[in-house]
Every structure is written in structure tokens, then in C-alpha cells.
Amino acid sequence: MALARVHTNKVYSQYWFYRNMRIAWDLAQEVKIRPLEENLYTMQFSCLGDWERVMQEGPWEHKGKAVVLAHYNGFTRPSSIALNTIDI
């Protein structure tokens, strides 16, 4: 699993976020993206190779705004995970 945060204050369509990320990542299998709060999502990948590709490649963006990713074990409180930097 992974956490994702879109760094923007502007309103955007979650549908288009999901669609654009799936296209950009070009995944072999399905990813389940679920909103947790505003601009924060959990992502559950069906394929380890897809997860590794998304986590190692990038940086990713949506409508010109950074999409910050972090490893997530599914148990830790999401708000305790820092999602404020990206590797370039």
C-alpha cells in the first residue's frame, strides 16, 4: 500500500485524478484508490511490480501539482506520515 497527497489548495475532480494517475503509471493490474481526507488517499496495488514502479519512478504530478507518495503499512495513522517532500 501507499499514501498519496496532492499538494494543491484548488478544487479538482477526484475522478480525473484517479484516471490520470492510472494512465501515467501504466499499471499491469488494478489499483484501488480511496480518499481519506482532502487531498489524501490510500492506494492498494494488486501487483508488487506496479507498486515498485510507482514508488521508485516519478516524481508524479496532477495538473501541475506534486503528488507525494509514501510507503504505507495500512496500520499507522496516516496523519503521522510526512508527505511534504519529493525526490528529484
State mean pLDDT over 49-78.
92
Number of structural domains the chain divides into: 1
Domain harbouring 8, CATH code: 3.30.70
Cell of 17: 485524478
Q: Which helix (H) or strand (E) holds 39?
A: none
Is 14 part of any domain? yes
Which set of grid coordinates corresponds to residue 83?
508527505
Given this model, what pLDDT does residue 11 score? 85
Q: What range does the domain containing 25 cover?
A: 2-80
SS3 call for 17: helix
pLDDT computed for residue 58 by the predictor: 83
CA 49 to chain centre: 15
pLDDT tens-place string over residues 20-57: 999 999 999 999 999 998 899 999 999 999 999 999 99
> Does 87 fall in a domain?
no
